[in-house]
Amino acid sequence: MFLFFLAFTTRTSFIMVLNKGIMHKAFTIAALVLAICSGGQWSQAQESSSIVRLYPALDRIVPRSARLERLRDGYVFLEGPVWVRKGRYLLFSNMPEKRIEKWTPDGNISVYLDLSQFWKTDKPDATLSNGLTVDPQGRLVYCSQLGRVVRIEKDGKHTILAERYEGKHLTAPNDLVFKKNGSLYFTDLNTGGYQQELPNSVYLLKGGKLQVLLTGKVERPNGIALSPDEKYLYVNDVRKKTLWRFEVQSDDTIGNGRLLVDMNSVAGEGAADGMKVDKQGNIYDSGPTGLWIISPEGKHLGTILTPDRVSNLAFGDSDGKTLYLTLHNALYRIRLNIAGVRP
């Protein structure tokens, strides 16, 4: 017991010295809790700046030299980033301001769309965009808390793709992902206390027809992503802090769901919110203390610790190896070794 205490104390002191002037004491505590609670041995848990490395496999994903870079702060709530490859810029939702903003590699941020000019609502707290993506034809598609999924046409017109199911209004579509064949998966849940006509669900929009894929099994479906081979659909339960994996069937419906990751063993701010995957099938998921990196088999490889909750993320730049993160209050990026799957 004494040897364990001595080893623990020595290791703790080393980590705190290493992080002096780089990380807040809270990050150090979070790193220690994360390393202990997530199943990795102390010999496996190594921390580089704000990155907790639980298993050696993380080194193949996140370089030892990798550091979070803050691009802009001073926000209240950011969401839904997507890299637009044709224009080489990042779009993201500034939710309280009811607009989609544009970041360019020269560091400039501008208003891409002021959605208050397109949609009028008697709900002053309604955010008009949340998750963003790009369809196979290169058109921007976004989720709206007005209960809609909307596509922006080449001429700037806004087309509502989904708004009602069997005559009942959607509540607040949250996040979305396209399959290569054009089928669209999205989550819908009550996030703002709005009148709810339909239960929290995962939907499939295919050939203009809206289908319910999942209701109840995932209590509050939020982040959603497809594996690189499109054999699996991943869905986050933001309330229960869990990640689920479903098999994609030949007709694009899903089945054989199983719990892949339970984040409740780790204390700290954050929940299972936005999510993306890389080309090798690794999953990047928002969670307690920051961004979790998870193997295709569901092993928690490590965490990029962040100063605020991660809401969502997107792979960008010409090689797809830069990961952009929207925290509630800031925009960040970090360079990786593996390219991500991008729309």
pLDDT (tens digit, 9 = 90+) per residue, 169-218? 999 999 999 999 999 999 999 876 567 999 999 999 999 999 999 998 89
Mean local confidence (pLDDT), 56-83? 96
Q: Rounded CA gap, 175 and 203, in Å? A: 11
The token pair at 284 is 């990047």
15 in a structural domain: no
Residue whose tokens read 């921007």? 140
CA nearest 257: which of 275, 245, 242?
245
pTM, entire model: 0.86
Range of the domain at 112: 48-335
The token pair at 82 is 């997507």
What does 129-174 look like in DSSP terms, one character per residue?
A: ---EEE-TTS-EEEEETTTEEEEE-TTS-EEEEE-EETTEEP--EE
Helices (H), the chain: 2-18, 25-37
The CATH number given to whatever domain includes residue 189 is 2.120.10.30
Count of structural domains, the chain: 1
pLDDT of residue 20: 34
pLDDT (tens digit, 9 = 90+) per residue, 70-105? 999 999 999 999 999 999 999 999 999 999 999 999
Please, are residues 135 and 178 in contact by the beta-carbon 8 Å criterion?
Answer: yes
pLDDT of residue 122: 67
Residue 328: is its pLDDT beyond 90? yes
96 in a structural domain: yes
198 in a structural domain: yes
8 in a structural domain: no
Measured from the Cβ of residue 166, the count of other Cβ atoms closer than 10 Å reads: 8
The more confidently predicted of residues 128 and 41 is 128
Band of residue 28 on the pLDDT scale cut at 50, 70, 90: very low
Please, which contacts does 31-34 make with residues 24 or more away whose CB atoms are closer than 8 Å? 31/289, 31/305, 33/266, 33/267, 33/268, 33/289, 34/266, 34/268, 34/288, 34/289, 34/303
pLDDT of residue 126: 72
